Structure 1
């Protein structure tokens, strides 16, 4: 059996300091974001010029750079996305990590030089999802973090795509890419890189305060051989918001463990764990990797803040804080004082320490210490004290990193030369990739004595490309005359030829970039004159087939029914073959289907199709695989399949969708922009729902849906169990029922009401249906981001 390939160690970098820390600590590759389209918008991120120099620096050391374009893109941002893709292709970036299918479609159609990696934000969690990525031309998929080693191995056995998985760093409570919590609270969308992390806050359930939605940090340092055996080829460290010190410590620790021979692995892992203790993360968990439901992944009693907890403030005097420290503390360490409320903490670097009244450079654990700070009047007794970095921080300053980056020169391209030489002329044919340049140069030569012209002399001359970005790979000559050519003339010819080759390379690169960019821009759909939707078509999502009598209501055109065993068993009452109700029922595919469930769902889908049911709503990329080989169906996408722009909608259409839902987080301006684009299929919107703020595989022990979970500002939420999943919803429903005429004016006439949580015949359900018919707004609901906007 061939041993698995040694995995790539992939490091985060959100700053130049972190980039050089990753390089110096042994990362095989880094992933980094640009100023735009990055899922870590709060990181420093990089300009295109920075990225090109980082790429050259990495390539000169045999490393790789991947760019994260892993956010959702608004319609008005598509031209800028095209410009970005054109620039990345021209610089030869190693890969782009993406979430929005607009990036996939534009790259696939117009920028073939870009390798595509599917972000974990795409919620790929089974073999069918990976097979879809293969069909779509991706070369790598970043798997969901909710998978066990056995589940990863099962995916590997059924697919050939490169698999990447996180091995260290912060975890999301929600399946990545499916969290609406931050956006719901204030329009700061996690899918746009602006997550405000409400999951890290403290909540109250009954009389108990806790951090119910704040996971501990992943640490798979003990499981690297098992991950490798499962088929993971890239080990990814989370942390683009983290410091260079964090990157250096964590990369160094994993490098140590990965490089250790099997006989010394236990010793190396022990040493690596000591390094990881200096990374100032949350308590470690192996997450879902070992299998089963982890009990240590989310512990409500553990604060959601990062850093090493040193203690609680015991006394405050001006800007001085006093506390008993649980660990050593040095001048130069960085502290964060974290209030008990949900407010952000305040960080500062320790400039001096006092033991009693005596200034010291360091104190040991269990010391009662006073730390002067530059702040006054903001700290309180009981606030938490966290150490977030040590005095041994990565030493390169941002200025030094910038100087080092600016000194980087473009990676030399290999050149092959064919030389034909006579006593009077030299003819050169140079090949560099797809570029071919010829040059003809007059010579002044004289008959050779003992030092006649040789191939070795010519190779020695042309191997020195001076400041030009080339490296001689191969040089061939015909028969050489017995002459001597003055060295000065040979150097002039070399200079002129390499300059001509550079100009041709730059011209070609610029020409290809312009052509690809112009073709992509031409492919963007122009805005058509706005046309109001002529009529409404109403779909209502229910939970139970017993509510199917709602189809007797003249206001309802279709029902959306969850694909559950009970509903399938009762499907006979919904209509027989040939009955139009076979089209009026839309079966809603469960958002998460793990591999052990897949065959059962595939068989059920075919059974329903055989009974004459034609319509299905898809909630994950993998769902397209359920319908492989079936024809004549109407597949519609839900808002979980992101559609924030017309290019994404065209992508869903190309994959097989005949109808699509616009994105539930979206705002009026962007919705209006999209609805002006002729995407060639019907578009709909959810206009009433209980928004699933979090959908998770993590159970919350002791929390049930009978009592709300309350934030410290009084917002109330419910935790529900749905099969093996935990779902958090707000007690405030989302409603655009009072805006239907406006939405029709924008061009949307297909509306969906999600009433599964209410029941259409409950008092509240009847109230919603009445508001629909009368076109009235419902009190006590929220417009989500519709008016206030989504960042």
Structure 2
């Protein structure tokens, strides 16, 4: 028998919570006022959180709270205190992103259930296994997973898996996006994403010339359609996904109500009849009507290429209503032949031939020249709409008043939609109090006696039918009368107020029992504080002795750049495991040649690796590792959790944890050390002050990126292959990336370079180059062991110049020389070789 999946709903407000519960959600995820990835949602204060847990638990629904952002050192104690509070109010799980916070949570509140957020970018079997070993009870998979991959992970690990099945889609692997952060200071890793992916871009070549006509293709080249898997429910269940997650904590409660009601019905029908499952036409229409950017099944069925994207519109499309047929001069109205019903109060939008969109709320309309409140599909209606509208322009219904009202009733009415059937037993006898017992669907019972005793009836004694009628009046409770058993002895009667009061008190008792049912006992404050003091004390231990010889590392993807890095003073080169198609795919012999060149010059070569490695790609990478096992590599740069797990069990080479592991606090450093990491690259979202703090108590050497175009996005979607290469559902890419150097140009004229790696994933780089050449002494004095030039998308000339400047800056520091003039000259020269200029990133502005 197919396992019944959990339907998991979003809630950004109290109304959305009620909408989710009343429309059939099994669980709801929501955020507190702090530490969650939807900073702009209304969210819940602590009192509301406790109330939400009670409300949901009475109705048999679980509550998960999102604590899914990166946590700074000074926030750790407060965040752990919040998790302690969540556990003690009975929250069913906390959803975490930060590896360090998760480590401390398992130490200080091991009783708390924790889920690994999709922000942790878990996308392969080994990553799931590592999260299981690290104490996570559920893993929320990356949205880029295919159903076959998920099924294989389920078979291999037996893990509790959660996946997004409907709603907005991030174009970048979650947890790996720095675009909003680096461009505008609003970090997705801190819950403040400004969604730059929903803005206009043009695909251009290295000279800024358009490679595709924006009028033909569209301008929203990073804006995905919404996921809609309604037609795939049986396949999702067969893959073994435990929890079906709906995206939408920023959405209105009407959206939550409509989408949850629809998926509740779909899941229940699929469980009842898997083979005969289908989506009804009205269900498809309502899902589209409530909100859509057009739909796709995401990556579940494979890479859909351009069919994933909404190139021409980044926001709600609504449902197509028809086309403008002409202008009625007599009534001064536009005539539209309806393809969908229309009523007063609906919102419509015309996609005009010139000038974009124009929309109105329908306050009046004519049918056959007469005012009407409603018109069926197939009707020719007249509407007064401003703007330059022409015959043939398309019209969309963006707001359906009736659908919204139907949704609104479910969370505004005092009568509850979701009802729990109860078994009632009532016994009444003359001269004895009435006894009432109720039993719910989980076997919980509550019972009580009336204050007054039964009297002998003069006219109308109590009957089963009368009690059935009275006890069934449960409209404003979450309960419904199921079975009724009665034991009426003699012609007994009690006042109605006594029966109603008894029913009320028994149901109130049952509500409290349901609220506490299966709730783990809380952790006493003094016990939590003792554990907390111990764990935080461990983090404050003295750092390892600082290295006396700071090193310069360079990350490159071609052999000539490696030669330049070595020749101009690099101590460490990252090379060989990641390549870009514009530079040619690296072969093992090039890695061997690079290693030989480095050895001759006394430079360490560390194998770099892709931050994303799905299972099949991970197997290919382990084959590469097998091939170079006997070579004297100086380490492996690791950017994803799965490879980290695999290397711990597989390789004896030193492991360097890359910045893509999101090292944001001391606890994460300790966690990585436990996993065998010997040096960690700090998050580029940290400030200089935070770096100094971490370096003061680090359990391992630290590395900081100081120069280069930071990768802002890593996406399974490739705009080059999709727009130029014809990649779409069922169609392969023609491979234009081999011969083209491309970028995305924004509205301000900035060009963000992009590369396509050996696995056809896109890497989008910042238009401005990071450059902190003047801050080399500050970083080295703080105790940073390795400074890194990030040059994977640059040529050997760039590598030679940047490495030369940083090599000299490090030498000056080692000899105790401070030369601000040389630093300034270097900065000006480095700014000159960056087309869009340079930036200090977050070193002096941060993301908190």
Task: Give the structure-2-normalised TM-score.
Answer: 0.72
Residue 298 of structure 2 is aligned to residue 287 of structure 1: yes
Alignment partners' CA distance in 1, 2:395 and 2:74: 44
Alignment partners' CA distance in 2, 1:132 and 1:582: 35
Alignment partners' CA distance in 2, 1:742 and 1:734: 16
Alignment partners' CA distance in 2, 1:135 and 1:529: 27
- Secondary structure of the residue aligned to 1:786 is coil
* Residue 76 to residue 358, structure 1, CA distance change in 2 (3 Å): farther
CA-CA distance at 1:614 after TM superposition: 3.8
Q: Which moved more, 1:548-557 or 1:717-726?
A: 548-557
* Residue 359 to residue 749, structure 1, CA distance change in 2 (3 Å): farther
Structure-2 residue corresponding to 1:730? 766
1:34-75 alpha-carbon deviations (Å, 9 max, x no partner): 111111111111112211221122222222111111111122
Structure-2 residue corresponding to 1:714? 749
The answer to whether the Cα contact below 8 Å between 1:527 and 1:673 also exists between their aligned partners in 2 is no
Q: Which moved more, 1:521-530 or 1:394-403?
A: 394-403
CA-CA distance at 1:767 after TM superposition: 2.8
Alignment partners' CA distance in 2, 1:67 and 1:755: 39
1:556-575 alpha-carbon deviations (Å, 9 max, x no partner): 21111131573532333345
Alignment partners' CA distance in 2, 1:553 and 1:578: 10
The answer to whether the Cα contact below 8 Å between 1:575 and 1:581 also exists between their aligned partners in 2 is no
Structure-2 residue corresponding to 1:80? 78
- Secondary structure of the residue aligned to 1:215 is coil
Structure-2 residue corresponding to 1:523? 535
CA-CA distance at 1:669 after TM superposition: 3.7
Alignment partners' CA distance in 1, 2:355 and 2:552: 41
1:355-399 alpha-carbon deviations (Å, 9 max, x no partner): 699986556777553479xxxxxx999999872563542679899
CA-CA distance at 1:267 after TM superposition: 5.2
Structure-2 residue corresponding to 1:543? 557
The answer to whether the Cα contact below 8 Å between 2:555 and 2:575 also exists between their aligned partners in 1 is yes
Structure-2 residue corresponding to 1:636? 656
For 1:277-316, what aligned pairs fall within 5 Å after superposition? 277-305=288-316, 307-308=318-319
* Residue 283 to residue 108, structure 1, CA distance change in 2 (3 Å): same
Residue 799 of structure 2 is aligned to residue 788 of structure 1: no
CA-CA distance at 1:726 after TM superposition: 1.6
- Secondary structure of the residue aligned to 1:6 is coil
* Residue 326 to residue 785, structure 1, CA distance change in 2 (3 Å): farther
* Residue 462 to residue 55, structure 1, CA distance change in 2 (3 Å): closer
Residue 803 of structure 2 is aligned to residue 769 of structure 1: yes
For 1:321-470, what aligned pairs fall within 5 Å after superposition? 330-333=343-346, 350=361, 352-353=363-364, 361=373, 367=381, 369-370=383-384, 387-388=398-399, 390-393=401-404
Structure-2 residue corresponding to 1:683? 702
Structure-2 residue corresponding to 1:218? 227
- Secondary structure of the residue aligned to 1:694 is strand
Q: Which moved more, 1:353-362 or 1:710-719?
A: 353-362
* Residue 537 to residue 392, structure 1, CA distance change in 2 (3 Å): same
- Secondary structure of the residue aligned to 1:658 is strand
Residue 188 of structure 2 is aligned to residue 193 of structure 1: no
Residue 13 of structure 2 is aligned to residue 15 of structure 1: yes
Alignment partners' CA distance in 1, 2:638 and 2:757: 18
Alignment partners' CA distance in 2, 1:706 and 1:614: 32
Structure-2 residue corresponding to 1:376? none
Structure-2 residue corresponding to 1:247? 256
Q: Which moved more, 1:663-672 or 1:282-291?
A: 663-672
The answer to whether the Cα contact below 8 Å between 2:23 and 2:410 also exists between their aligned partners in 1 is no
CA-CA distance at 1:672 after TM superposition: 3.5
CA-CA distance at 1:745 after TM superposition: 3.8
* Residue 255 to residue 601, structure 1, CA distance change in 2 (3 Å): same
Alignment partners' CA distance in 1, 2:592 and 2:543: 45
CA-CA distance at 1:754 after TM superposition: 1.2
CA-CA distance at 1:463 after TM superposition: 5.6
* Residue 402 to residue 279, structure 1, CA distance change in 2 (3 Å): closer
- Secondary structure of the residue aligned to 2:299 is coil
For 1:223-234, what aligned pairs fall within 5 Å after superposition? 223-234=232-243
Q: Which moved more, 1:654-663 or 1:664-673?
A: 664-673
1:470-516 alpha-carbon deviations (Å, 9 max, x no partner): xxxxxxxxxxxxxxxxxxxxxxxxxxxxxxxxxxxxxx977723321
Residue 663 of structure 2 is aligned to residue 654 of structure 1: no
The answer to whether the Cα contact below 8 Å between 2:618 and 2:643 also exists between their aligned partners in 1 is no
Alignment partners' CA distance in 2, 1:553 and 1:191: 37
Alignment partners' CA distance in 2, 1:738 and 1:694: 27
Alignment partners' CA distance in 2, 1:241 and 1:666: 27
For 1:77-226, what aligned pairs fall within 5 Å after superposition? 77-205=75-203, 206=210, 207-208=213-214, 209-226=218-235
Q: Which moved more, 1:608-617 or 1:682-691?
A: 608-617
Alignment partners' CA distance in 2, 1:402 and 1:122: 39
Alignment partners' CA distance in 2, 1:21 and 1:746: 52
| Aligned with residue 778 of structure 2, among 730, 739, 742 | 742
Alignment partners' CA distance in 2, 1:669 and 1:781: 21
* Residue 43 to residue 555, structure 1, CA distance change in 2 (3 Å): same
The answer to whether the Cα contact below 8 Å between 1:221 and 1:269 also exists between their aligned partners in 2 is no
The answer to whether the Cα contact below 8 Å between 2:11 and 2:29 also exists between their aligned partners in 1 is yes
Alignment partners' CA distance in 1, 2:224 and 2:847: 26
- Which ranges in structure 1 are unaligned for 5 or more consecutive residues? 316-320, 373-378, 406-449, 467-507
- Secondary structure of the residue aligned to 1:166 is strand
Q: CA RMSD in A?
A: 4.2
Alignment partners' CA distance in 1, 2:349 and 2:42: 20
The answer to whether the Cα contact below 8 Å between 2:342 and 2:375 also exists between their aligned partners in 1 is yes
Structure-2 residue corresponding to 1:573? 593
For 1:1-80, what aligned pairs fall within 5 Å after superposition? 3-80=1-78
- Secondary structure of the residue aligned to 2:307 is coil
CA-CA distance at 1:593 after TM superposition: 1.4
CA-CA distance at 1:140 after TM superposition: 1.0
CA-CA distance at 1:527 after TM superposition: 9.7
Alignment partners' CA distance in 1, 2:677 and 2:776: 25
The answer to whether the Cα contact below 8 Å between 1:684 and 1:749 also exists between their aligned partners in 2 is yes
* Residue 103 to residue 394, structure 1, CA distance change in 2 (3 Å): farther
Alignment partners' CA distance in 2, 1:141 and 1:249: 27
* Residue 582 to residue 120, structure 1, CA distance change in 2 (3 Å): farther
* Residue 203 to residue 390, structure 1, CA distance change in 2 (3 Å): farther
Residue 573 of structure 2 is aligned to residue 559 of structure 1: yes
| Aligned with residue 702 of structure 1, among 716, 723, 748 | 723
- Secondary structure of the residue aligned to 1:586 is strand
* Residue 707 to residue 661, structure 1, CA distance change in 2 (3 Å): closer
Alignment partners' CA distance in 2, 1:558 and 1:57: 57
Q: Which moved more, 1:599-608 or 1:155-164?
A: 599-608
Structure-1 residue corresponding to 2:508? none
Alignment partners' CA distance in 2, 1:144 and 1:20: 28
* Residue 642 to residue 679, structure 1, CA distance change in 2 (3 Å): same
The answer to whether the Cα contact below 8 Å between 2:56 and 2:63 also exists between their aligned partners in 1 is yes
- Secondary structure of the residue aligned to 1:570 is helix
Structure-1 residue corresponding to 2:506? none
CA-CA distance at 1:19 after TM superposition: 0.6
* Residue 144 to residue 37, structure 1, CA distance change in 2 (3 Å): same
CA-CA distance at 1:105 after TM superposition: 0.8
1:670-691 alpha-carbon deviations (Å, 9 max, x no partner): 3333333x12111111111222
- Which ranges in structure 2 are unaligned for 5 or more consecutive residues? 204-209, 328-332, 417-430, 438-444, 451-519, 579-584, 725-736, 809-821, 832-836
The answer to whether the Cα contact below 8 Å between 1:614 and 1:633 also exists between their aligned partners in 2 is yes
* Residue 399 to residue 186, structure 1, CA distance change in 2 (3 Å): farther
Alignment partners' CA distance in 1, 2:597 and 2:752: 42
